[in-house]
Amino acid sequence: MSAFMSAFASLVGSLADLLQPFFQTASTAAAIVLFTALVRLAVHPLSRAAARGQKARTKLQPQIAALREKHGKNPERMQKALMELHTAEKVSPLSGCLPSLLQMPAFFLLYHLFSSTRIGGEPNALLSHRLFEAPLGERWHDALADGGVFGAQGLVYLALFLIVAAVATFSYGRTKRQMAANPMTPATGPDGQPVPGMGAMTKLIPLMSFMTLFTVAFVPLAAALYVVTSTTWTAIERAFLYRDMTAPGTAMAGAA
């Protein structure tokens, strides 16, 4: 693990050196943004596949409702019928999870890199690198202790919070419109009965984007930059990939 982290630290350092003529003292922060963009670009084909899968699942809702009506009292038959339907339509119920799952290692790498005081037996020099006045290895509570919310460091976090809030508000509006235009059949278990709590969960889904604010507040600034960049990318990407699912009757106008 130590050798792997050393190699990752070298990668971040190399990207920072490449960007130094353009971003000067903020070159390491810019390298993290570039690294995030490269990760998101790598998983974009999976995001496109997930969008096609979600649209296909939306199209299957009437058939799923009919199966629940027919086999609701026979859990085994219901489960088999759902599997057969998804197989016949070449739709994976789990396809939407892959893009998020594949990004998690990159986030944890950055989190670990900027939380470790030593890398490869040597002091971690990256911890002293800054975005303006805020060290990349420190957290929001460190900024609050050094100048408060409107101090030199606090203003960096305030800018990130404003970006996250703007992106979350944009995502909230799109999700609400998408859910209104494409109402889903109430989630049920294999026995055909409604899953307890799913109604409340459905209402919370549009608000999930705002949870990013808490992540940014508690992780090292470097990891927060990854989260902000990735969240912004997601909002733009979903606006493009799901652009035909925000108006009634147009959900299946075409796969992205």
Q: What is the pLDDT of residues 37-88, one digit of tens each?
A: 999 999 999 888 888 877 777 777 777 777 777 766 667 777 777 777 767 7
pLDDT reading at 103 higher than 90: no
Q: How confident is the model at residue 210 (pLDDT cuts 50, 70, 90)?
A: confident
CA 230 to chain centre: 6
Strand partners, 194: 188
User: What is the percentage of the chain residues whose pLDDT exceeds 70?
Assistant: 79
> Residues 83-112, buried b or exposed e (16+ Cβ, 10 A)?
eeebeeeebeeebbebbeeebeebbebbbb
pLDDT above 90: percentage of residues in the chain: 47
Of 251, 240, 244, 248, nearest to 47 by C-alpha is: 240
Would you kindly state where each structural domain of the chain is located, as residue ranges?
2-245
| Residue 191: predicted pLDDT | 43
- Specify burial of residue 6 (Cβ count, 10 A radius: 0-12, 13-18, 19+): middle
Which range, 21-30, 51-60, 95-104, 182-191, has the best average confidence (pLDDT)? 21-30
Mean pLDDT to the nearest integer, 216-232: 95
In whole angstroms, what is the distance from residue 11 CA to residue 1 CA? 15
CB neighbour list of residue 14: distance below 8 Å, 6 or more residues apart = none
Average pLDDT of the chain to the nearest whole number: 81
What CA–CA distance (Å, rounded) separates 251 from 238? 14
pLDDT for the residue 242: 83
Q: Which of 88, 70, 59 is nearest to 188 (CA)?
A: 70
Predicted TM-score of the model (pTM) = 0.80
Q: Which of 200, 199, 204 is nearest to 175 (CA)?
A: 204
